[in-house]
Structure 1
Amino acid sequence: MTTSEAQERARASRRESPGSRRGELLAAAAACFDELGYSGTTVELIAARARTSRPTFYAYLRSKDEAFLAVTEQICARLEATQQLDDIESVPPLTVLRATTRAFAEAVFASGSLVSLIDSRAGLDPVVGEVWSTLRHRLNRRYAHYLTGLAPGTIDPCTPPDRLVVMLGDSIIRGAARLGHASAEVREQFIDDQIRMMERCVGIAADAPPRADGAHPDAAVT
């Protein structure tokens, strides 16, 4: 076995061990990428943020690129979780659409500038691009599937659902990412505006103010 192969096996073993240093390194990497951007972040800065050393970083991760990919996968998992609702069939469509719109925007906000950075890196790094495009495809497919499955007359979308969901998703991702470090008041106004736009585009009656929904529950919108 070569030294390189032994290192890879050791990394794999550490990666799967619960409560490993790898999680701390990824949290530090996410903070560095958020604050300094991709080019401004280095392995040394990540290690320092995690209060460890460069050799320890390489014991768990091959490179800055691998750290960014792992952070991307974590962010994607959080965004996908926003399409979760209990008893979806018994929840009014307006409640579902408002709750998922709010949850998705809040998840983007919670990641600071990382979603914007991921969206940008996706065009430069094929591996990040694959992870990001796969997530976007799954989210859009589920959203469109939900809209097309509603009873006739429930909604009157301004354009076919498969195109509409891409437009709505792009609007939230680009807008919320731009406001990643804005004030709570500005973020709330953005969410309200996105909900109202969604209602108009989907063609569903706005029978109550967007903020009346409260927190959303958990299970898949499919």
Structure 2
Amino acid sequence: MPGAKQGWAARTNRQPHDGDRRQEIIRAARAVFAKLGYSGTTVADIATEVGISRAAFYVYFASKADVFAALARAVRDDLITAQDVDPAAGLTDTAIFEQATVAYLKAYTRNLALLTVIEHSAISDPQVSETWREISERPVKRATRYIERAIANGTAAPAGSSDVIAEALIGIVAQFARILEKSPRRREDLEHDITRISTRLVGLPTAAGLSNVRTVKRRKATVR
């Protein structure tokens, strides 16, 4: 209708800093959802956390569900990006797999509380359900490709089929993340153990990367 006032959520003339404010809201939503869960969180809670009014919140997101969907996608991207290792770095297949595994463990640990909320919300929200499917499946597919590439290079002899080993490894990382969240001081030992487990399951040489460095440190500590 000509001359009618538009609501906050309908604003289209965004300013250059709007992207930064949107990310601030997503970061605030991360903290609130992780603490209160989805059903316990309100738009007012998120607005208070970021230090804006509810009206300002609706400039960037249409609803609590809208910001949660954006947050779920950010978690998905964080987990997937964690598996990236620069192929131009000239690393061995073992070193690549170790780095990707440790990085994925760190990403899973920092997103652990939200992953539980996302999984529960996926039951009733189709949009979040699709994101949860990607969170569950894409890391497994990427790990499968790592293993298959190592097999093609003649450096890996996995204990089973590539997809089954990949799914098992992702599950092991999830369990290690729960341990790490409860006992952060065990980080170095857990990273060492997860790399040894993963390389042995994949059938990669273990005389490289984090596993070798940590083993040397342990030997020195024993000698002392």
2:203 corresponds to 1:168: no
Amino acid at match of 1:101: T
Q: How does 1:135-154 map to 2 (within 5 A)?
A: 135-150=135-150, 151=152, 153-154=154-155
The one-letter amino acid paired with 1:87 is P
TM-superposed CA distance for 1:161, in Å, is: 0.7
1:135 Cα deviation from its structure 2 partner: 4.0
- Distance change in 2, residues 1:152/1:84 (3 Å): closer
* Residue identity opposite 2:201 in structure 1: C
Q: Is the 8 A contact 1:118 1:132 kept in 2?
A: yes
| Equivalence for 1:47 | 47
Change (3 A) 1:13 1:145: farther
Q: What SS does the aligned partner of 1:39 have?
A: coil
Q: Distance in 1 between matches of 2:40 and 2:167?
A: 31
Q: Distance in 1 between matches of 2:15 and 2:60?
A: 7
Q: Is the 8 A contact 2:143 2:166 kept in 1?
A: yes
CA offsets per residue over residues 118-153 of structure 1, 9 Å max, x none? 233333422112112224433322221221122364
Give 1:6 shift: 6.2
Q: Report the alpha carbon displacement of residue 97 of structure 1 after superposing the two structures with TM.
A: 0.8
Query: Which secondary structure does the structure 2 equivalent of 1:149 belong to?
Result: helix
Q: Which residue number corresponds to residue 97 of structure 2? A: 97
Q: Which has the higher contact order (CA 8 A, sep 6+)?
A: 1
Deviations 1:51-90 (A, max 9, x none): 1122222222121111111111111111111122223583
Q: Which residue of 1 aligns with 2:218?
A: none
Q: Any idea what SS the aligned residue of 2:157 has?
A: coil
Q: Which has the larger radius of gyration?
A: 2
Secondary structure (helix, strand or coil) at the match of 1:205 reads coil
Structure 1 counterpart of 2:164, one-letter code: R
After TM superposition, the score normalised by the length of structure 2 is: 0.79
Deviation at 1:35, TM superposition (A): 1.8
Q: How far apart, CA to CA, are the structure 2 residues paired with 1:147 and 1:181?
A: 28
Q: CA RMSD in A?
A: 2.9
Q: After superposing the two structures, state which structure 1 stretch, 203-212 or 49-58, moved more.
A: 203-212
Gaps (5+ residues) in structure 1? 214-222
Give the TM-score, by structure 1 length: 0.80
Gaps of 5+ in 2: 215-224
Question: What is the CA–CA distance in structure 2 between the aligned matches of 1:189 and 1:145, rounded to whole Å?
Answer: 27
Change (3 A) 1:20 1:154: closer
Give the AA of the match of 2:163: D
How far the C-alpha of 1:14 sits from its partner, in A, is 4.0
- Alpha-carbon shift at residue 106 of structure 1 (Å): 0.8
Q: Deviations over 1:103-129 (max 9, x none)?
A: 001112223512232233333422112
Distance across 2 between alignment mates of 1:24 and 1:37: 19
Instruction: Measure, in 2, the Cα distance between the counterparts of 1:13 and 1:146.
Output: 44
